[in-house]
Structure 1
Amino acid sequence: MKVFFVTFGCKVNTYETGCMAKTFAEKGFTVSDTAEGSDVIVINSCTVTSASDKKVRQSLRKLRHENPDSLIILTGCYPQAFEEEAKKITEADIITGTRNRSEIAGLALNALSSSSRTKEAYIQQYTGHEAFEPMSYDSNERKTRGFIKIQDGCNQFCSYCIIPFARGRIRSKPPEDIASEVTALVKNGYQEIVLVGINLAFYGAEAGLSLTDAVETVSRVEGVKRIRLGSLEPEMISGDDLLKLKNTESFCPQFHLSLQSGCDRTLKAMNRKYTTADYTRLVSSIRNIFPDAAVTTDVMVGFPGETEEDFEESMEFVRKTAFSKIHVFPYSPRSGTKAAAMPDQINSSTKSERAARMTELGHELEREFLRAQVGKTVPVLFEKENCTSFHRGYSPNYTLVKIKREPSIKSLRNSIFYVKIKESMNGFCIGEIIPAEPKG
């Protein structure tokens, strides 16, 4: 039996797909890289915007048309947040949400063994008292970076966001389970561990723990060379946390701090829990403690009520903060959220124009950041080569570094070498390996 997976959305979804694939394999399935000929097709959905829902539905229609005999399972955030809407989708045979992912393979087996196929929905709503669902992923894929989901749920209820309804309240993976999963990944050759979550900075908040406890847990696993963090909410990171991270030798100083807007009036309307002054203090602390840190962010433009003056204020804050990279996206109304019903919705052309201006600023800041890397000597963890001209990998602050590929040099995949950065380009730097023993 074959199973094919389609994944939409964030790194957490990607991780959960990997865990589901492991469960299917344990029940006798072979994970296929194509939908054609697959007995089961699993679509792991995203619902962060209405456009995300549209992509999921389009994928469902296409897959059903091309694979009329396959069992199609729709799972993930979309059916969890919009149960009644999802139940009306005719292309899916089984619909589940974001709970009990380990049961999906069993549901598939039962359906395949049934003499008649009937549409079934298994969506359990959150009560607020759920424990962290046990999931583990010990992939032996030839990759250098292993992702581990250690946190789920969100209590923030930002006015534009549906995710608390799709993921429930905050809950965290126990430290002993983190250690066990990291140990398995290291045995399979992974040197870098990336911790991810729906609201990662809130790790352990319900149990008297903190994100630094998770980082320290990973650092104690023998063989871990690097630890990296996913996206963080700025109000949950303290100076003490930064000092603990500084004392963790394997920690990589890359901080993706979700901003959303550089205008306090807009932040308040978004129901964000910090001000631009709070954000500036945190970034200053990061750069004082980690001089080589990269600070990246997300910026939303065109939020309801955002005036041209508000947007310019956000632009100026972004420019002053000097992010190394920015993910820019125009606000998209999400049914079920407060922002969708707010007055003064911004028209599409204005949102597109503002997104283009903010994106160009982001490119300018990225070029400045990369120019500042020239002359530094940094350890680079090399990844699988994807071209004949260069070896490529990442420094601790996630600068993409390329070195010219000489015919006499074997593959550098999954090895760490010190590289002197010689030149900056658009999106990456060029360097050369300095004479030293490999660190891995």
Structure 2
Amino acid sequence: MNFKIISLGCPKNLVESEYIACRLEQAGHVLSDACDTVIINTCAFIADAARESIETILQEAADKDEKGQRIVVTGCLVERYREKLAELLPEVDLFAGRGFYPEIERLISKTGFFLNETGFKDTYPRKVLTSLPSAYLKIQEGCDNRCTYCTVPDIRGPLRSRPSEDIVEEFRYLLGQGFKEINVIGQDITSFGRDSGSGLKELLRLLLDVQGDYFLRLLYLHPRGIDDELIDIVGHENHIVPYLDIPIQHSEDRILHLMGRGYTRDDLESLLKSIKNRVPDITLRTTLIVGFPGESDEEFSGLCDFIKTWEFDMLGAFTYSREEGTPASGLRGHVRKPVKQARYDEIMSIQKDVSKRRLKRLEGRTAQVIIEGQDRPYMVGRLLTQAPDIDGIAFVKGSCAIGEIREGKIVKTLDYDVIVEVQ
């Protein structure tokens, strides 16, 4: 069988697609664009993501009879909507829930619906589908935070941490394959080990004991899980990128309480003050939700002031999505769509000014840049302090090759991007 995989959604999904690809190749199948089987690994954490997944399935299935292709659907859409999908999407030959990934080579020729409640956390061995020098390292699955707007615990289940020795083994494998930028991921990596008596800091020390030329980046850290010791590890270990991705979601106490986030504005300000005092040049990224049920004009204004005051280097925002089955969907005071959109536009306008100002201070400095492609007359990549796919990009002048990590001078900054000159 020749197969291709379309991986939708987050890097955690991508890692699972890589695991599926490895299982199938080990069984003798071939990963190829010229294929007789299309595997679509879906996302469904909000309605827009589920809609994109369904549209992708229908697009791939439109000419399946002409091409003689089988359509296989995996991932979060299957977990969230379950048997309803078989009736909704008769074009699909096989639905495989995440608990069946370890058996995917056995199921791939079957037709039907396979789902169980055991979940899935192991992602190694896998066939890495990202290009050198960057790869993802998934350390845990599921989430126990239970934020009121979020479907992830229902889709992916409770927290399940991978054994530290398995993570270190996979880390060594990635380094052996030539990957140098390793992005540590999970639903909330600060929760790693709470179910097994370990912890993120202990895991980082094990990874840092491994000799080699590499950089670790920590993605998706819940504010409650960050303490001074973790900040110091990130800020002072040469193998860790001084970068923290901390989704705060909001700044105002009443909204944070309704969201079930477990902290206050004072807590956030204390955390951010500690981070910036201990690691002055750290790069900070966050994520916000605007238009949460009951969000008043005054509370949105408070959020805007918070963003202006604390100046995150990178910021992503979402308009609140009312997801069936979540506690927040039953709250009163749902904000009208035009108001949510206006608030989103205002937040992003504020962040554009913040980003431009934050980047401006980098002009004339030297920085490490990852070369990822070409867009004549420039090579294109990222500063090491820009995460893949979610942050800005670097336009690179000078002689360099795709896959290199080079040192260069930042000669110009834009709203979100930079121009770097390498020798």
TM bucket, shorter chain: over 0.9
Per-residue CA deviations over 1:276-320 (Å, capped at 9, x if unaligned) read 211122222222222211111111111111111111111111111
**Aligned 8 A contact 1:191 1:414 in 2:** no
Instruction: Report what 2:283 is aligned to.
Output: 294
Trace 1:191-270 onto structure 2 (pairs within 5 A).
191-270=180-259
Q: Which runs of 5+ in 1 are unaligned?
A: 112-118, 435-440
Instruction: Report what 2:78 is aligned to.
Output: 79
How far 1:258 sits from its partner (Å)? 0.4
Select 2:378's aligned residue among 390, 401, 415. 390
Cα distance in 1, alignment partners of residues 239 and 254 from structure 2: 39
**Aligned 8 A contact 1:324 1:369 in 2:** yes
Deviates more, 1:50-59 or 1:298-307: 50-59
1:125 matched to 2:117? The reply is yes
Sort the Cα spacing of 1:353 and 1:246 in 2 relative to 1 into closer, same or farther, 3 A: closer
Per-residue CA deviations over 1:381-428 (Å, capped at 9, x if unaligned) read 4323322322344334227443323xxx3x333333332323212322
How far 1:217 sits from its partner (Å)? 2.5
Deviates more, 1:6-15 or 1:87-96: 87-96
Cα distance in 2, alignment partners of residues 194 and 141 from structure 1: 12
Q: After the TM superposition, list the runs of 4 or more consecutive aligned residues in structure 1 that deviate by more than 6 angstroms.
A: none
**Aligned 8 A contact 1:218 1:224 in 2:** no
**Aligned 8 A contact 1:100 1:133 in 2:** no
Instruction: Report what 1:8 is aligned to.
Output: 8
Instruction: Report what 1:402 is aligned to.
Output: 395
Per-residue CA deviations over 1:317-363 (Å, capped at 9, x if unaligned) read 11111011111111111011111121111111111111111111111
Cα RMSD for the two superposed structures? 1.9
| Percentage of pairs with the same residue | 25
Sort the Cα spacing of 1:413 and 1:216 in 2 relative to 1 into closer, same or farther, 3 A: farther
Select 1:336's aligned residue among 315, 325, 332. 325
Sort the Cα spacing of 1:173 and 1:57 in 2 relative to 1 into closer, same or farther, 3 A: same
Instruction: Report what 2:96 is aligned to.
Output: 96
Sort the Cα spacing of 1:416 and 1:45 in 2 relative to 1 into closer, same or farther, 3 A: closer
Q: Secondary structure at the match of 1:160?
A: coil
Sort the Cα spacing of 1:21 and 1:172 in 2 relative to 1 into closer, same or farther, 3 A: same
Relative to the length of structure 2, the TM-score reads: 0.93
Instruction: Report what 2:389 is aligned to.
Output: none
Deviates more, 1:247-256 or 1:418-427: 418-427
Instruction: Report what 2:107 is aligned to.
Output: 107
**Aligned 8 A contact 2:124 2:170 in 1:** no
**Aligned 8 A contact 2:215 2:241 in 1:** yes
Cα distance in 1, alignment partners of residues 92 and 403 from structure 2: 40
Deviates more, 1:182-191 or 1:152-161: 182-191
One-letter amino acid matched to 2:98:
T
One-letter amino acid matched to 1:403:
V
Q: Which runs of 5+ in 2 are unaligned?
A: 387-391
One-letter amino acid matched to 1:85:
K
Instruction: Report what 1:438 is aligned to.
Output: none
Cα distance in 2, alignment partners of residues 338 and 222 from structure 1: 46
One-letter amino acid matched to 2:83:
E
Trace 1:313-392 onto structure 2 (pairs within 5 A).
313-378=302-367, 380-392=368-380
Select 1:421's aligned residue among 410, 418, 423. 410
Q: Secondary structure at the match of 1:19?
A: helix
Q: Secondary structure at the match of 1:365?
A: helix
Q: Secondary structure at the match of 2:385?
A: coil
One-letter amino acid matched to 1:287:
K
Sort the Cα spacing of 1:302 and 1:336 in 2 relative to 1 into closer, same or farther, 3 A: same
Cα distance in 2, alignment partners of residues 345 and 222 from structure 1: 52
Cα distance in 1, alignment partners of residues 120 and 410 from structure 2: 46
One-letter amino acid matched to 1:390:
Y
Cα distance in 2, alignment partners of residues 361 and 53 from structure 1: 29
1:160 matched to 2:160? The reply is no
Cα distance in 1, alignment partners of residues 56 and 15 from structure 2: 20
How far 1:106 sits from its partner (Å)? 1.8
Trace 1:304-319 onto structure 2 (pairs within 5 A).
304-319=293-308
Instruction: Report what 1:52 is aligned to.
Output: 49
Instruction: Report what 1:182 is aligned to.
Output: 171
Cα distance in 2, alignment partners of residues 152 and 51 from structure 1: 23
Sort the Cα spacing of 1:334 and 1:416 in 2 relative to 1 into closer, same or farther, 3 A: same
**Aligned 8 A contact 1:400 1:427 in 2:** yes
Sort the Cα spacing of 1:272 and 1:206 in 2 relative to 1 into closer, same or farther, 3 A: same
Cα distance in 1, alignment partners of residues 281 and 84 from structure 2: 47
Relative to the length of structure 1, the TM-score reads: 0.89
How far 1:138 sits from its partner (Å)? 5.0
Deviates more, 1:240-249 or 1:259-268: 240-249
**Aligned 8 A contact 1:376 1:420 in 2:** yes
One-letter amino acid matched to 1:31:
L
How far 1:208 sits from its partner (Å)? 1.7
Give the count of matched residue pairs.
Answer: 415
Cα distance in 2, alignment partners of residues 98 and 319 from structure 1: 41
**Aligned 8 A contact 2:353 2:415 in 1:** no
One-letter amino acid matched to 1:383:
I
One-letter amino acid matched to 2:279:
F
Cα distance in 1, alignment partners of residues 43 and 259 from structure 2: 21
